[in-house]
Amino acid sequence: MYANHRGVGTRTVAGYAGDVKAVTDNGRASSPDSRADPRIGIALGSGAARGWSHIGVLRALEAMGIYPGIVAGSSIGALVGAAYAGGQLDRFQKWVESLGWRDILAYLDLSPLGGGFIQGERILAFATSHVGDVDIASLPLSFGAVATELSSGREVWLREGSLLDSIRASVALPGLFAPSRLGDRWLVDGGLVDPVPVSLCRAMGAEVVIAVNLNGDIVGKHLQNHARQRLGRRREAGADTDLWSRISRQLSKSFGERNARLLSELLGEERGAPGLFDVLATSINIMQDRITRSRMAGDPPEILLTPRLSWLGLMEFDEAGVAIEEGRASVERMRPLLEHTFDGF
């Protein structure tokens, strides 16, 4: 028996969007905040390091008295959303704000083999310690993550089972992170099919959806001059440069001269032309922007928040403070609409 909301279905287990059974909140633990409203859903979008702005968004909404009871996340949005749905956001934010680039390097188990430049096992260990490996059904808030089935390209909604497995699958950015095996399927980043999971929020029962789109102004920005100028200013000030350059320097200590030079070329440091990761980051930006536009045209949210972080690199996770503040600012820019929507809700 199927129950649809705006023509979208969902399944009680990890399943395919559009061919799935409706889920309710039966048996779910009490909310970390009794004010959480099961009619309000928040769709936290993909965007790598820009995803720390989700923390600022959630904090600003709380300050306005808005407490979503349904949380859907794609890629980095799944990680932040899991912390929020599990009542662990305070602890998670404290850790995020303490990150330096050396800490980030420590979490990157680098390898050119295994389907991705980063294997992800150390990140998985981090998630265990800061979010917890619990069953999704036991979370205080209703939670779902989006992933992509590698063999078919189908959208997969992860609503039951291990929270850790759902995060690992949703953040497996192709070419960067190795794919995740769940059951008999290989899963990769949810941003490939649904960068801002509004439809999943609706299928989980949300009547009003607040969507956070991190991809609204990013196309081409990774290669634009102002980003390069920003890095130049950081070099002049003696500050650390972008994370890929740091990785290059770190790996060069372990590699021979020829391999170190090859790595520099992959990173675009030698030729003044886009390197492998410049091309990868920009291609991902283009793809996610186009997919987001298409998906939202068919199923627009009631509230759309757009943190402006186009300057932030794919892996600059050490810029959490700035990203969180921009998340707060994106809520302030939409305050009139938020107040109008939730007045007397």
User: Would you say 144 and 88 are in contact if contact means Cβ atoms under 8 Å apart?
Assistant: no
Q: Which of 37, 46, 74, 189 is catalytic?
A: 189
- Joined together, the tokens standing for residue 57 give 């968004």
The neighbouring-strand residues paired with 157 are 15, 146
Bridge-based pairing state of the strands 68-74 and 142-149: parallel
Q: Which one-letter DSSP state was computed for residue 120? A: -
Residue 318 annotated among the catalytic residues of the structure: no
SS3 of residue 223 by DSSP: helix
Half-sphere exposure of 236 (CA within 13 A, CB side): 6
Q: Which helix (H) or strand (E) holds 85?
A: helix 76-85
Residue 170 annotated among the catalytic residues of the structure: no
Region of 153 on the Ramachandran plot (φ > 0 left; ψ -120 to 50 alpha; else beta) = left
Q: How far apart are CA 128 and CA 107, in angstroms?
A: 13
Bridge-based pairing state of the strands 175-177 and 116-118: parallel
- Which has the closest alpha carbon to 70: 151, 14, 145? 145
User: Would you say 174 and 189 are in contact if contact means Cβ atoms under 8 Å apart?
Assistant: yes
- Joined together, the tokens standing for residue 241 give 């440069």
User: Would you say 171 and 75 are in contact if contact means Cβ atoms under 8 Å apart?
Assistant: yes
SS3 of residue 49 by DSSP: helix
The sign one gets for the Cα dihedral 315, 319, 321, 327 is negative
Q: Which of 31, 46, 75, 310 is catalytic?
A: 75
SS3 of residue 292 by DSSP: helix
Residues known to be catalytic: 75, 189
